[in-house]
Amino acid sequence: MKLTYIYHSGYAIEAEGFTIIIDYYKDSHNKVVRNNILKKKGQLYVLSTHSHHDHFNKEILGWKKEYPDIIYIFSKDILRNKKAKDSDAIYLDKSDFYQDETLFIQAYGSTDLGVSFLIKAEGKVIFHAGDLNNWHWNEESTEDEIKEAEDFYQEELGSLAANVKHLDLAMFPIDPRLGKDYMKGAEQFVDAIQTDILAPMHFDEAYGKAAAFAGYALSKGCKCICWKHTGESYLIFQE
């Protein structure tokens, strides 16, 4: 099973017989989606956690013209915000799930718009956080705002941790715009849930800042993937 970093929070998971693309915003510098991933044989799943422009691009709906067997699975806020039609996708709210013979997807909460996705496939448990994070903005917020953000995050993280004790892979925001405590949400995440591999996202081009999480991750028995550029791939699971 191979993980490819597309851009921002966009990832692709490729396995024998199927591919999952999550939160496509725009293609990588080397057009890895258009030139490689979309040409792969097998079932294609396209997921979007919410309707923010940097997580959902209407371009993905046009892929169906070339690949009619695509299965779209979107957060229901995309439908509510009229970014797509009812017939375009399967829509999930928090706690809803989708299942077929290949994979199982359950929607969990977010501390921003939409949902996060728990995915089970080929015996692996995978999580894409969407915009679930401790968005505390400590250097700009009041104490009350910080407490509200902290409580909200702990509530959503606690709900996930109560049901998920171990993750083979998590894709999670490590956003340097948050200031000095920008890794706090990711630290709390791997504290709460045993995570084998963490792939940073939402870090723009700050590759070094994202890679700085590797030390803390290692202290929790977690491997942090230190991306160097978009379009890069990592073999996450081998037989």
User: Per-residue pLDDT tens for 44-90?
Assistant: 999 999 999 999 999 999 999 988 889 999 999 999 999 999 999 99
**Residue (of 142, 146, 138) closest to 175 by Cα position:** 138
Task: Kindly state the greatest CA–CA separation across the chain.
Answer: 52
pLDDT category at 239 given cuts 50, 70, 90 is low
User: Per-residue pLDDT tens for 146-176?
Assistant: 888 899 999 999 999 999 999 999 999 999 9
User: Per-residue pLDDT tens for 182-223?
Assistant: 999 999 999 999 999 999 999 988 999 999 999 999 999 999
Q: What is the pLDDT of residue 145?
A: 84
The full DSSP string for the chain is -EEEEEETTEEEEEETTEEEEES--S--TT-HHHHTGGGS-SEEEEEES--STTT--THHHHGGGT-TT-EEEEEHHHHHTTSS-GGG-EEE-TT-EEE-SSEEEEEE--SSSS-EEEEEETTEEEEE-TT-S----TTTS-HHHHHHHHHHHHHHHHHHHHH-SEEEEEEEE--GGG-TTTTHHHHHHHHHSEEEEEEEES-TT-HHHHHTTHHHHHHTT-EEP---STT-EEE----
Contact of 130 with 50, CB cutoff 8 Å: yes
For the chain, how many structural domains are there in total?
1
Contact of 61 with 39, CB cutoff 8 Å: no
| Average pLDDT, integer, range 97-120 | 97
The domain that holds 45 is classified in CATH as 3.60.15.10
Share of the chain above pLDDT 70, in %: 99
pLDDT category at 229 given cuts 50, 70, 90 is very high
Q: What is the pLDDT of residue 141?
A: 77
**Residue (of 150, 153, 234, 151) closest to 196 by Cα position:** 234
What residue numbers bound the domain in which 146 lies?
2-235
Please, what is the average pLDDT of the chain?
95
